[in-house]
C-alpha cells in the first residue's frame, strides 16, 4: 500500500431502542458483527476498479446540501407545500449538463443559489433561485473537464478541473489537477491549487471529482469509471487556504467526516479510513464480493453494495469502518435528510435512524392500511413523495403523513425552494417556491 504523502503529488510513471436482529415485511435488517477482521492492504491492482466512484442511484432524487451562500433572511424551516407552477427555471441550454442519474449529481443547492459546472467543463456558474438568472460565472484557464458537481464548503464553493497547458518549441507542456475555491455568494476566487502534475506526453491523469467538503476540508478524487489504466488517487485540502494536507496514490475517496476520510483501495474491495490530519490509516477492512458501488449517506455512513453477490446494501460507519446493518437487496437507494434520518427505498420504504441504525417505520403497512409512497427526496425531517392520488409530505422520524396536496414534487429541497428537472423538455430545471 502506498503511504499518504504530504504536499503535492508528482506523478510516477511506472432502527426497537437498540439494534437487534429483526424481520419486517419484505425488509430484513440484521445486525452484523462489530468485531471485524482488519485486512492487510496488499499491492495495488493494475487498473482502477470499474464500479467505484459511481453511487447507486435513488429512484428519483436526493436531498439538498444547502449551505449559506448569499445571506438573506434566516431559514424558514423545511417547507410543507410549494406553488404548483414553477416561479423560475434554470435554462440548461446555456449549460448543457447531462442529467443521467439524479439532479444532485450535477447541481449543488445553496440557500439562494444553485451551482453547476459549465457543460463544456470550463468553469462554474451560480444561478439565482428567485429568478433562475446567472448570478456569477467563473472560468478556469486551460480546463479539459471535470465530473460530478461543485461542492459547498462553508462560505465557499469548490470545483476540481483537469487542466492542460500546450507546449511550445521543444516543451511538451503539462497536465494538472486544479482545485479552485470561490466565494459562494460573489464568485470571487479565494485560492487555486494544483495537486497533481504530469508532463505533456503523459496521459495518466484521470478526471477529478470533489467527493465531499465541509468547513475545514475538501476531498478530491481522481479516477476513471470503467476499465482504466489510470490509478485512482485522492487529495485532502485545507478549505481555508487551499494547501494540500496529504495525497494518496492508492485511495479513491468516497466520504468525509470531521476526522476521517473514507476511500477504497486494493481494486475497490478494501476500504480504508485515513486521518484528515496527516493521512495515516485509522481503520481498514476488506469487503468480499465482486464489483462494488458506494454511496455516501451524509458524513456518518457509507453504503456499500455489490453489483453481483454479497454484500447487499451494507452500511458502514465512516469514522470506524464498522458494519452497522444491511437492508434487503431490493433497496435501490437511501436518502439522507441532512439531519438524523435515512429514507431507503425498494420494495418497501424504510426510515432508519442514522446514529443507532434503528428502523423507525416502514411502508406499506397493511395493519394500518397505508400504502407505499413514491419517494422523491428528504430534507430536515420531512419526506417528499407521491402518495395515493396526491403529492404528500411525511414525517421522516415517524413515517406519518404531514400534508397532502403539497403542490409540487421536488427532487431537491432547501428551506425556501424545491427543484425538479423538467422531463418534458430536458432543457431546464424548474424552481418551485415554498408556500408553507
- 250 or 71: whose pLDDT is higher? 250
* Residues 287-305 pLDDT 10s: 776 566 778 888 888 888 7
The pLDDT value given to residue 136:
97
Question: What sign for the dihedral angle of Cα 397, 400, 404, 409?
Answer: positive
The span from the CA of 400 to the CA of 413, in Å, is 19
> Residue 365's closest CA among 330, 400, 394?
400
The span from the CA of 240 to the CA of 218, in Å, is 10
- 100 or 31: whose pLDDT is higher? 100
Strands 314-317 and 301-306: antiparallel
The pLDDT value given to residue 290:
59
Query: pTM for the complete prediction?
Result: 0.79
CATH architecture classification, 25-433: 7 Propeller (2.130)
> Residue 86's closest CA among 391, 435, 380, 385?
435
pLDDT at 362 over 80: yes
The dihedral region occupied by 74, where left means phi > 0, alpha psi between -120 and 50, and beta the remainder, is beta
The pLDDT value given to residue 228:
58
pLDDT at 69 over 90: no
Residue 309 cell numbers, joined: 453477490
Domain limits, the chain: 25-433
* Tally of CB atoms within 10 A around 318: 26
Q: How far from 39 is each of 129, 180, 288, 303, 326, CA to CA, in Å?
A: 47, 36, 11, 19, 21
The span from the CA of 140 to the CA of 134, in Å, is 17
Amino acid at each position: 500500500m502506498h503511504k499518504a504523502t504530504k504536499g503535492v503529488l508528482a506523478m510516477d510513471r511506472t432502527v426497537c431502542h437498540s439494534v437487534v436482529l429483526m424481520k419486517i415485511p419484505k425488509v430484513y435488517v440484521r445486525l452484523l458483527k462489530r468485531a471485524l477482521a482488519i485486512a492487510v492492504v496488499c499491492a495495488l491492482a493494475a487498473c482502477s476498479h470499474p464500479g467505484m466512484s459511481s453511487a447507486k442511484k435513488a429512484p428519483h432524487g436526493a436531498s439538498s446540501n444547502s449551505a449559506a451562500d448569499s445571506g438573506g433572511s434566516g431559514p424558514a424551516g423545511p417547507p410543507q407545500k410549494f406553488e404548483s407552477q414553477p416561479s423560475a427555471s434554470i435554462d440548461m441550454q446555456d449549460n448543457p449538463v447531462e442529467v443521467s442519474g439524479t439532479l444532485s449529481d450535477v447541481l449543488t443547492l445553496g440557500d439562494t443559489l444553485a451551482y453547476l459546472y459549465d457543460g463544456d467543463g470550463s468553469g462554474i456558474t451560480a444561478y439565482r433561485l428567485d429568478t433562475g438568472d446567472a448570478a456569477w460565472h467563473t472560468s478556469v484557464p486551460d480546463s479539459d473537464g471535470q465530473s460530478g458537481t461543485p461542492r459547498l464548503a462553508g462560505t465557499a464553493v469548490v470545483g476540481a478541473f483537469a487542466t492542460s497547458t500546450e507546449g511550445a518549441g521543444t516543451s511538451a507542456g503539462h497536465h494538472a489537477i486544479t482545485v479552485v475555491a470561490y466565494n459562494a455568494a460573489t464568485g470571487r476566487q479565494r485560492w487555486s491549487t494544483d495537486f497533481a502534475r504530469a508532463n505533456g506526453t503523459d496521459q495518466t491523469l484521470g478526471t477529478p471529482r470533489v467527493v465531499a467538503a465541509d468547513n475545514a476540508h475538501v476531498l478530491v478524487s481522481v479516477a476513471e469509471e470503467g476499465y482504466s489504466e489510470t490509478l485512482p488517487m485522492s487529495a485532502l485540502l485545507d478549505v481555508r487556504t487551499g494547501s494540500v494536507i496529504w495525497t494518496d496514490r492508492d485511495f479513491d475517496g468516497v466520504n468525509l467526516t470531521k476526522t476521517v476520510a473514507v476511500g477504497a483501495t486494493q481494486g475497490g474491495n478494501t476500504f480504508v479510513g485515513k486521518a484528515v490530519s496527516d493521512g495515516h490509516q485509522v481503520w481498514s477492512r476488506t469487503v468480499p464480493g465482486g464489483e462494488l458501488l458506494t454511496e455516501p449517506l451524509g458524513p456518518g455512513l457509507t453504503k456499500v453494495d455489490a453489483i453481483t453477490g454479497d454484500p447487499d446494501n451494507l452500511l458502514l460507519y465512516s469514522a470506524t469502518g464498522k458494519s452497522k446493518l444491511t437492508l434487503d437487496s431490493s433497496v435501490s437507494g437511501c436518502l439522507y435528510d441532512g439531519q438524523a434520518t435515512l429514507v431507503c427505498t425498494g420494495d418497501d420504504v424504510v426510515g432508519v435512524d442514522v446514529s443507532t441504525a434503528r428502523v423507525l417505520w416502514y411502508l406499506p403497512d397493511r395493519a394500518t392500511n397505508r400504502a407505499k409512497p413514491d419517494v422523491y427526496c428528504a430534507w430536515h425531517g420531512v419526506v417528499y413523495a407521491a402518495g395515493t392520488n396526491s403529492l404528500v409530505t411525511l414525517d421522516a422520524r415517524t413515517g406519518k403523513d404531514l400534508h397532502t396536496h403539497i403542490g409540487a414534487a421536488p427532487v431537491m429541497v432547501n428551506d425556501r425552494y424545491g427543484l425538479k428537472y423538467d422531463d418534458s423538455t430536458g432543457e431546464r430545471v424548474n424552481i418551485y417556491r415554498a408556500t408553507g
